[in-house]
Amino acid sequence: MKLSKTTTEVFNEVGELTYFTARFFREIFSPRFEWREFFRQCYVIGYKSLPLIGLTGFIMGLVLTIQVRPTLIEYGVEARIPAMMGLSFVREIGPVLSALIFAGKIGSSMGAELGSMRVTEQIDSMEVSGTNPYKFLVVTRVLAATIMLPVLSSLSDVIGIYGSYVAFNIRGAMTLRLFISEVFNYLKFSDIFPAHIKCYFFGFAVGIIGCYKGYFTRLGTAGVGRAANSAVVVSSVLIFILDLLVVQITDLIGIG
Amino acid sequence: MARRDRHIAPLNEPGINEPVITVHDLYKAFQQNEVLRGFNFELQKGETLVILGRSGSGKSVLIKCIIGLMKPDKGSINVLGNDILSLSVQDMDKLRMRVGFLFQSNALYDSMTIRENLEFPMRRHLSNLDADEVNKRVMESLEDVGLAHTVDMMPSELSGGMQKRVALARTLILKPEIILYDEPTTGLDPITGAEISDLIVEIQEKYQTSSIVISHDMKCVEITADRIAVLLQGICYAQGTYETLVASEDASIKQFFH
């Protein structure tokens, strides 16, 4: 049986990505770790993404509350808005929304940055100067993305819930204290824990795909654009697949 | 190049009269395109060898094989007494401290200042140096290329010629014994190109480095070459001084010089 060219390319890509990922786990435990670059990446990836992720979280909280309110009023359960928004933000909207924004901002910038470093021979230059470019560029970025996304997602949850509180108070009256108390009355550890864990997987997926696409950029500047673009597309699709898997797994083991 | 050995043996040293680089019977192909087909040459200590060839003839591939960025299909490469094809990753890194490489595109890290660019190789290989010593070395290298005032600028703020000089300063910072220049004057105007060629000669005289210059810029070849190896059809077609090759009656050689 002869495989088509596209099928062969897909298998090649999956194989290369698997090897690239396996190399991450090998390199991360071998000395020496690039702490300085890691902290710089945490700052770039985490701190600089916060305004965008915070803003989208706030707007999402605001808009969702405005839109669901009339329906909930019809059923006489308007008071359940804090609980509903808290649950939906912590379990799904916060992690997935943050991850998608993160993929768009960080995944594309990793693809473009490493891609342009590849085509301008900066990665070769690192290797020639006796620095392991994978360790310096990839390990630090992937680890920073893996650690920073859960933090950003948690902050997005908080800001989103605050957005919901603001929207609730446009036509109603509830103190912030009561609103938050209502949110936490319905939140359980089993809601927070799986959602938090899946953020690490999302962050890792965005980091590894962005770096992989950039690290193996070919065909000059056109390739850089393609790397940035496909980093966003592939990592966004992967986020949904991982989300589906995590929901199924946590459901099966009974912590969902 | 990535053979991983846990055991790190001390690097070999070349004998007193031994060449610092020996390339023997080197083959490299990209699918059906055979760019190197049994290339041989030797680089003597203190010598500047120019590898002359047409665009796409495999000159850059050759020096990338020497520095370990590409793996040849066949043949042997001995650098400073070490067979680089059998070196471990760690030993290769140690050897790379002694071999500088100037990229055609300069390859300056564009997210770092000039100072950070120059400090980058030192942070890895000379981590025992204190801040004053690091600064002294950075300034000394930049002064060698006449650009001490650019130390806190970004690479994007410099002209092409200045970037080339900074890239050369970064190459010099570890005081390498061998420097490989990949088309050092490409993309520069003739005057700046001649300045860079003069700088290569100055550096060779000051630091007594051995150099390989890849070029098809005849002005650069004339200024820098102690000896020229002509790369044609994947082999070392001819070798000699600039004067002997200029006087050659061979039509393939003549096309470079006339």
Residue A102 and residue A202 in contact, taking contact as beta carbons nearer than 8 Å? yes
pLDDT tens by residue, B105-145: 888 999 899 999 999 888 877 778 888 888 998 998 898 88
| CA–CA gap between residue B138 and residue B162 (Å, rounded) | 16
Alpha-carbon distances of A66 from A147, A159, A170, A179, rounded to whole Å: 33, 16, 9, 15
* Residues B218, B150 share a domain: no
Q: How far is A112 from chain B (nearest CA, A)?
A: 13
Q: Are the Cβ atoms of A131 and B101 closer than 8 angstroms? A: no
pLDDT the model gives residue B157 = 93
* Residues B182, B66 share a domain: yes
Residue B175 and residue B144 in contact, taking contact as beta carbons nearer than 8 Å? no
pLDDT the model gives residue A20 = 93
Residues in chain A: 256
Q: Are the Cβ atoms of A127 and B69 closer than 8 angstroms? A: yes
* Residue B12, in any domain of the structure: no
* Residues B249, B200 share a domain: yes
Q: Across-strand partners of B232?
A: B235
Q: Are the Cβ atoms of B96 and A128 closer than 8 angstroms? A: yes
Angle at which helices B131-144 and B114-125 cross, to 10° = 120
Which amino acid does the sequence have at B147?
L
* Residues B91, B30 share a domain: yes
* Residues B94, B189 share a domain: yes
DSSP three-state, residue B49: strand
CB atoms closer than 10 angstroms to residue A156: 31
pLDDT the model gives residue A171 = 80
Secondary structure letter of residue B186 according to DSSP: T
* Residue A131, in any domain of the structure: yes
Size of interface A-B (CB pairs under 8 A): 45
Q: Which one of A100-114, B13-27, B229-243 scores highest in mean pLDDT?
A: A100-114
* Residues B26, B149 share a domain: no
A182 CB burial (10 A radius; 0-12, 13-18, 19+):
buried
Q: Are the Cβ atoms of B107 and A121 closer than 8 angstroms? A: yes
Residue A78 has pLDDT above 80, yes or no: yes
- Residue at token pair 């990793």: A110
**Could you tell me which residues come within 8 angstroms of residue A170 by beta carbon, excluding any fewer than 6 positions away?**
A66
Work out the average pLDDT over B56-67.
Answer: 89
pLDDT tens by residue, A156-201: 999 999 999 999 988 878 888 998 998 898 888 888 888 888 999 9
Domain that holds residue B118: 107-170
Q: Are the Cβ atoms of A122 and B108 closer than 8 angstroms? A: yes
pLDDT the model gives residue B6 = 38
Nearest by Cα to A118 from A214, A41, A208, A209: A214
Domain boundary among B170, B194, B223: B170
Q: Are the Cβ atoms of A130 and B110 closer than 8 angstroms? A: no
Residue B154 has pLDDT above 90, yes or no: yes
Q: Are the Cβ atoms of A122 and B107 closer than 8 angstroms? A: yes
Q: Are the Cβ atoms of B97 and A130 closer than 8 angstroms? A: yes
* Residue A27, in any domain of the structure: no
Residues of chain A in contact with residue B104, where contact means CB-CB under 8 angstroms, are 121
* Residues B248, B205 share a domain: yes
pLDDT the model gives residue A2 = 67
Q: How far is B67 from chain A (nearest CA, A)?
A: 7
Residue B73 and residue B35 in contact, taking contact as beta carbons nearer than 8 Å? no
pLDDT the model gives residue B2 = 39
Residue of B101, B163, B182 best to disrupt the A interface, most CBs of A under 10 A: B101
Domain that holds residue A195: 33-252
pLDDT tens by residue, A20-76: 999 999 999 888 888 889 999 999 999 989 999 999 999 999 999 999 998 988 888
Residue B53 has pLDDT above 80, yes or no: yes
Q: Please, which pLDDT band fits residue B5 given cuts at 50, 70 and 90? A: very low
* Residue A8, in any domain of the structure: no
* Residues B253, B191 share a domain: yes
**Max Cα distance, chain A (Å):** 69
Residue B8 has pLDDT above 50, yes or no: no
Q: Residue B68: closest CA among chain A residues belongs to which residue?
A: A128
pLDDT the model gives residue A243 = 92
Which amino acid does the sequence have at B38?
G
> Among A116, A124, A131, whose Cβ lies nearest the Cβ of B124?
A131
pLDDT the model gives residue B4 = 39
Where does B6-80 have alpha helices with state H? Answer: 59-67
Secondary structure letter of residue B136 according to DSSP: H
Q: Are the Cβ atoms of A128 and B67 closer than 8 angstroms? A: yes
* Residues B181, B132 share a domain: no
| CA–CA gap between residue B136 and residue B43 (Å, rounded) | 31
pLDDT the model gives residue A246 = 87
CA–centroid distance for A175 within its chain: 32
Residue B7 has pLDDT above 60, yes or no: no
pLDDT the model gives residue A191 = 85
pLDDT the model gives residue B129 = 82
* Residue A117, in any domain of the structure: yes
The number of distinct structural domains making up chain A is 1
> Among A125, A130, A131, whose Cβ lies nearest the Cβ of B107?
A125
* Residue A211, in any domain of the structure: yes
Residue A145 has pLDDT above 80, yes or no: yes
Q: Please, which pLDDT band fits residue A202 given cuts at 50, 70 and 90? A: very high
- Work out the percent of chain B whose per-residue pLDDT is above 70: 93
Residues of chain B in contact with residue A136, where contact means CB-CB under 8 angstroms, are none
Report residue B169 as tokens.
């300063």
A252: part of which helix (H) or strand (E)? helix A220-252
Q: Are the Cβ atoms of B120 and A129 closer than 8 angstroms? A: yes
* Residue A155, in any domain of the structure: yes
* Residue A235, in any domain of the structure: yes
* B-proximal residues of A, 93-132, CB under 8 Å: 113, 116-117, 120-122, 124-132
Q: Residue A126: closest CA among chain B residues belongs to which residue?
A: B121
Average pLDDT over chain B reads 86
Domain boundary among B136, B170, B204: B170
Q: Are the Cβ atoms of B103 and A129 closer than 8 angstroms? A: no
Q: Please, which pLDDT band fits residue B247 given cuts at 50, 70 and 90? A: confident
* Residue A200, in any domain of the structure: yes
* Residues B143, B28 share a domain: no
* Residues B165, B114 share a domain: yes
pLDDT tens by residue, A113-136: 999 999 999 999 998 888 889 999
* Residue B196, in any domain of the structure: yes
Residues of chain B in contact with residue A120, where contact means CB-CB under 8 angstroms, are 105, 107, 110
* Residue B162, in any domain of the structure: yes
Which amino acid does the sequence have at B122?
M
Q: Are the Cβ atoms of B125 and A130 closer than 8 angstroms? A: yes
| CA–CA gap between residue A134 and residue A127 (Å, rounded) | 9
Kindly report the CA angle at B25 between B19 and B28, in degrees rounded to 5? 120
Kindly report the CA angle at B46 between B2 and B135, in degrees rounded to 5? 70
pLDDT the model gives residue B14 = 63
CA–centroid distance for A31 within its chain: 28
Q: Which CATH number fits the domain that encloses residue B25?
A: 3.40.50.300
Residue B3 has pLDDT above 50, yes or no: no
Residues of chain B in contact with residue A130, where contact means CB-CB under 8 angstroms, are 93-94, 96-97, 121, 124-125
Q: Residue A30: closest CA among chain B residues belongs to which residue?
A: B6
Residue B177 and residue B210 in contact, taking contact as beta carbons nearer than 8 Å? yes
The number of distinct structural domains making up chain B is 2
CA–centroid distance for A64 within its chain: 21
Whether the CA torsion B147, B149, B152, B154 is positive or negative: it is negative
Secondary structure letter of residue A47 according to DSSP: G
| CA–CA gap between residue B142 and residue B148 (Å, rounded) | 5
Work out the average pLDDT over B158-186.
Answer: 89
Whether the CA torsion A68, A71, A74, A75 is positive or negative: it is negative
Q: Across-strand partners of B41?
A: B23
Whether the CA torsion A119, A122, A124, A125 is positive or negative: it is positive
pLDDT the model gives residue A159 = 95
Domain boundary among B115, B138, B170: B170
Cis-peptide, bond into residue A32, ω within 30° of zero: yes
CB atoms closer than 10 angstroms to residue A111: 29
Average pLDDT over chain A reads 90
Nearest by Cα to B183 from B224, B147, B148: B224
pLDDT the model gives residue B228 = 92
Sheet with B82-83, strands from edge to edge, namely: B33-43, B21-30, B74-79, B82-83
* Residues B183, B166 share a domain: no
Residue B9 has pLDDT above 70, yes or no: no
